[in-house]
Structure 1
Amino acid sequence: MDKKKQQDGKEQSKMIGVVPDGWEVIGLLNVCDLINGRAFKPNEWSEDGLPIVRIENLNNNDACFNYCNFKVPCKYLLQQNDLLISWSGTPGTSFGIFNWNRGKAILNQHIFKVILKEGVEKKYFYYAYKRLLVEMIRQSHGGVGLQHITKEDLKRFEFLLPSLSDRYRLHFFHSR
């Protein structure tokens, strides 16, 4: 990570800015694992079964679902309150972080399921990622319109991890 000391001795990150005392700047993928969704072919869609979550379902509660009526590996199954990151599409509409709130479903391609590592508070991650999103979109690949951020790209992004005592305070604040 690209860090330096300021004149007052505080650490500063090129991407994040001033780092509070006791906090750590680490790679984004050091705080979570990302599982990419399954690529479904149109002939695999069904009129019943579990809904297949596509980017348009994240951005629009009225968007129609495709369904899957066969067994898929567990890693693609979504549960209520799973964190999802859409990483492909049109900046401003397709990219984002979402808290899945529509029950059991199946993860489609172009969306990552976020598995947070121990000690990383979910709401803090959600808001910290939203803050990073502007820079991610600026650096995304692609032409006019459709763009994407790869898992390899995400390795370059810094995450500001609070000190242990601040994590406890954040957890208390977010659980209220």
Structure 2
Amino acid sequence: HAGWIATFAGIAGGADVVLIPEIPINLDETCGILKKRHTRGRTFSIVVVAEGAKLITSDVTKDQSLDEFGHVKLGGIGDYLAKEIEKRTGYETRVSVLGHIQRGGSPTAFDRILGTRFGVKAVELIENQEFGKMVSLSGTKIIAVPLEKGVEKLKTVDMDLYNIAKVFFG
């Protein structure tokens, strides 16, 4: 429902297009970017698609099955887009659906230290019988946040960050 992983992966991986749930997909615009690249001699493009991405005109991301919490499962948009892009551009397309391990990559030293800091804070909360809270990073500090606060609203991608990725489109 939010395109954080896709946005960061797109920036880090040098994607030519990043499609996220926060911005409904205009397939004509996306195909236009790919065609423009092709006319400039770029015979391949990398398109990163968040599993919750949606088209302006339809809702192909929902297969109507539910997860264990009753939420509609996301998925299928990558295959649909690949077929549509191939149909509209004539370019061969391939889909690679990344698993959880691939999405996260190998942990860096920062990741390991942050995980340790989160763990220490979580143990402190348990020792102090402070239940109903989660650990969070605020600036450089590890803090406790009431669970209600952590889940009260969806944290969508900051458009300033997305615009960094967009600089490299096409």
Interval of TM-score (by shorter of Structure 1 and Structure 2)? under 0.3
Answer 1 or 2: which has greater helix percent: 2
| Greater radius of gyration (CA) | 2
The TM-score with structure 2 as length reference comes to 0.21
Answer 1 or 2: which has greater strand percent: 1
